[in-house]
């Protein structure tokens, strides 16, 4: 018999509860014990946040959004914020975390997280903690897995938003700009944009030229289409824009600023168009709420596979979707760099062949 731990770290996303439920069910079937750690790695620093999970704890959670274990915004044990004399200092508390993990007698720790959380997991792995990873991000920016859970639900929400914006855009002969998540990777904007029939898709991987965007909208109105719908990822930025470079997964990825890009694009377009323009920020509606069928199934299977990896002793690995199979990959390979859109890749080409403007 084994005793394993599970935690969810970083931003939440639909399907986390499916993973937790899958882990608990597959473990109990094996006669193992599961300890749920609340609020990400932060939970190890508070003994009351480490509790046994039974079937009753996971009953009915499959369709629920969020994570029953909670997550944390200050969960990095290597840079843990502590208030000292009115100032926040980042302190390395990893020794304490490692000793709590060994005192708990965990035979394996399942870490469900995105790029940041999995990198922390790797560091703990190097300190001897037996880790298995489960990839989580609505942005779909992790390598080694075809897709992460949560992404499909986020795209469903964004696609529905585009549908709703279309009808009001058409009635009012307006340009509607929808800002979606995607700090470094524009997958949500790209795929939802294709699915929702957007006229323009702006992503961080392809700096946009506002003149190209506005002239496409003008050309559309000359063809009798007096409305347009634009989807823009929050990390998108104009060509030659003033970029803040952020460290991301080993590589440097540029982001101009977070939040406000939808407004900015609207303002810029206003300089070229006579049409009314309105911006909508979809924000955390993409992260909350019930997971789609796809994400429930993927999350559940990821949970079971994580337990199987612990049983095999395959530590340092992350569950991964390959085609229709759940396989595994080295966590280190998955966080080598972010999984970004290839501007010359097939998906972008298909979008352009559909007549969608990417602003280049
Ligand atoms: O990391 C995933 C993500 O969806 C990013 O695209 C976005 O910038 C971020 O979450 C926002 O999260 P929060 O408001 O929780 O910091």
Residue with tokens 């959004």: 65
ipTM value of the model? 0.94
Residue with tokens 């803040």: 244
The two three-digit tokens of residue 134, written as one number: 């489960």
Residue set of the binding site for Mg(2+): 115
The two three-digit tokens of residue 35, written as one number: 């300890």
Question: What pLDDT shows up at residue 126?
Answer: 95
DSSP code per residue over 52-101: E--HHHHTT-TT--S-TT---SS--TTSEEEEETTEEEEE--HHHHHHHH
Please give the Cα distance from 110 to 303 (Å, whole number): 9
Distance 24 CA to ligand 1 centre (A): 27
- Ligand 1 closest atom vs CA 284: 14
Contact 161, 346 (CB under 8 A): no
Q: What angle do CA 157, 234, 229 make, to 5 degrees?
A: 60
Question: What pLDDT shows up at residue 249?
Answer: 43
Contact 200, 213 (CB under 8 A): yes
Question: What pLDDT shows up at residue 199?
Answer: 98
Q: Is 138 in the pocket of ligand 1 (CB under 6 A)?
A: yes
Of residues 135 and 256, which shows the higher confidence score? 135
Q: What is the pLDDT of residues 27-80, one digit of tens each?
A: 999 999 999 999 999 999 999 999 999 999 999 999 999 999 999 877 799 999
SS3 52: strand
What's the chain's average pLDDT? Answer: 94
Q: Is 236 in the pocket of ligand 1 (CB under 6 A)?
A: no
Question: What pLDDT shows up at residue 73?
Answer: 78
Residue nearest to atom 15 of ligand 1 (CA): 11
Supply the DSSP symbol for 290: P
Q: Which residues are catalytic?
A: 139
Contact 14, 153 (CB under 8 A): yes
Please give the Cα distance from 286 to 156 (Å, whole number): 9
For residue 225, CA distances in Å to 160, 228, 289, 313 come to: 21, 8, 35, 59
Q: Is 183 in the pocket of ligand 1 (CB under 6 A)?
A: yes
Name which of 188, 207, 184 is nearest 196 in CA terms: 188
């Amino acid at each position: 018999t084994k005793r394993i731990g599970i935690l969810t770290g970083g931003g939440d996303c639909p399907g986390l509860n499916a993973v937790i439920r899958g882990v608990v069910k597959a473990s109990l079937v094996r006669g193992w014990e599961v300890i749920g750690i609340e609020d990400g790695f932060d939970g190890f620093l508070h003994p009351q946040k480490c509790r046994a999970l039974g079937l009753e704890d996971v009953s009915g959670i499959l369709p629920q959004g969020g994570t029953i274990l909670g997550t944390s915004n200050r969960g990095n044990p290597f840079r843990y914020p502590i208030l000292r004399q009115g100032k926040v200092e980042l302190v390395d508390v990893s020794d304490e975390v490692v000793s709590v993990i060994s005192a708990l007698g965990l035979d394996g720790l399942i870490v469900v997280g995105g790029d940041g959380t999995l990198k922390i997991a790797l560091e703990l792995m190097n300190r001897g903690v037996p880790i298995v990873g489960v990839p989580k991000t609505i942005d779909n920016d992790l390598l080694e897995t075809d897709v992460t859970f949560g992404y499909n639900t986020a795209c469903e929400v964004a696609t529905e938003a585009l549908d709703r914006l279309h009808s009001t855009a058409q009635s009012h002969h307006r340009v509607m700009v929808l800002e979606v998540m995607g700090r470094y990777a524009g997958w949500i904007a790209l795929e939802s944009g294709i699915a929702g029939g957007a006229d323009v898709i702006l992503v961080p991987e392809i700096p946009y030229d506002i003149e190209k965007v506005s002239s496409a909208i003008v050309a559309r109105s000359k063809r009798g289409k007096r409305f347009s719908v634009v989807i823009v990822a929050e990390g998108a930025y104009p060509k030659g824009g003033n970029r803040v470079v952020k460290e991301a997964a080993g590589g440097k990825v540029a982001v101009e600023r977070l939040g406000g890009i939808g407004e900015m694009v609207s303002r810029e377009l206003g300089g070229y168009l006579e049409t009314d323009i309105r911006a909508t920020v979809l924000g955390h509606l993409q992260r909350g709420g019930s997971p789609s069928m796809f994400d429930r199934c993927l999350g559940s299977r990821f949970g079971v596979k994580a337990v199987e990896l612990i049983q095999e002793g395959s530590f340092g690995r992350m569950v991964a979707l390959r085609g229709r199979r759940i396989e595994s990959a080295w966590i280190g390979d998955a966080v080598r760099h972010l999984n970004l859109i290839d501007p010359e890749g097939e998906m972008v080409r298909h979008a352009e062949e559909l007549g969608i403007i990417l602003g280049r």
